[in-house]
Amino acid sequence: MKNKRWSSILELCENQGAVTVEQLTAVLQVSEATVRRDLQKMEDNGLIFRFHGGARLIDNELKEKSMTMKSLLNIEEKEKISRYGASLIQDGQIVFLDAGTTTYNLIDYIEAREITVVTTGIPHLTKLSQRNIKTFALSGFVKSSTVAVTGKETVNQLSNMNFDIALLGTNGVHPAAGFTTPEEYEGEAKAMAMRRAKKSYILADKSKFNKLCFVHFADLQDATVIIDAKIEDFDYQLIDYIVAP
């Protein structure tokens, strides 16, 4: 219940810019004391900034959200996308699995056997090993916000690998800018993995559409996008997409 409340609070902050305690009490249908406790704990975890009578997000468009924050946003949409993404993996394949919350959730739904996974996600390594999935750990620097391995060494390693399928996340899907991410080396790693894969899929919930970040890593035609629902104000003539059932 706490995670659902926190998720609702973050989504309201994203949509409105800021929310009041009074609003949250009405929307969440809990006491004012519960709302205030939630806001205090969320601020302690670096998810929001509290002000007198309400709260707003700390993150702005130029700063990437932490993995903790991302895991609390668009939960149901990400689950649909993750489940469908996992179904694309076939027995015996070599898989690139990007860092991020949607690809992390995807691991729970993998049914293919005798696969090998290469991932930039540090939390992914533990979950993959718990499921006895053969996994290759890349080397490089760890980005604190996304808990992802990145850097020149990471990109160089990927340049010597071949993948049957690459499953990646993105921070933005834009008709003109394509697929984008905030950090240069992370973008280079994504681009390299896509170049070395026979087929690439971008896992993107509705919050990523019509947004762009600093670094372009691929054009729209370079991958098939798995989404949770058709985004009405996006030009779908530019993109190959699948709506996850």
> In this predicted structure, what is the pLDDT of residue 60?
47
Distance CA 132, CA 114 (A): 10
pLDDT band at 210 (very low <50, low <70, confident <90, very high): confident
C-alpha torsion angle, residues 225, 229, 230, 231 (rounded to 10): -90
> In this predicted structure, what is the pLDDT of residue 74?
57
> In this predicted structure, what is the pLDDT of residue 192?
98
**Domain spanning 70-243: which CATH class is it, in words?**
alpha beta
C-alpha torsion angle, residues 81, 107, 72, 171 (rounded to 10): -60
Residue 184 has pLDDT above 50, yes or no: yes
CATH of the structural domain 2-58, one choice from 2.40.50.140, 3.40.50.720, 3.30.70.2190, 1.10.10.10: 1.10.10.10
- Please say whether the dihedral angle defined by the alpha carbons of residues 212, 158, 82 and 2, taken in this order, is positive or negative: negative
Residue 76 near residue 4 (C-beta atoms within 8 A): no
Distance CA 238, CA 230 (A): 13
Distance CA 50, CA 214 (A): 28
Residue 115 has pLDDT above 70, yes or no: yes
* 3-class SS of residue 203: strand
> In this predicted structure, what is the pLDDT of residue 69?
54
Residue 152 has pLDDT above 90, yes or no: yes
User: Looking at the chain, which residues constitute the CATH 3.40.50.1360 domain(s)?
Assistant: 70-243
Residue 72 has pLDDT above 70, yes or no: no
> In this predicted structure, what is the pLDDT of residue 105?
94
Distance CA 126, CA 112 (A): 18
Tokens of 219: 């054009």
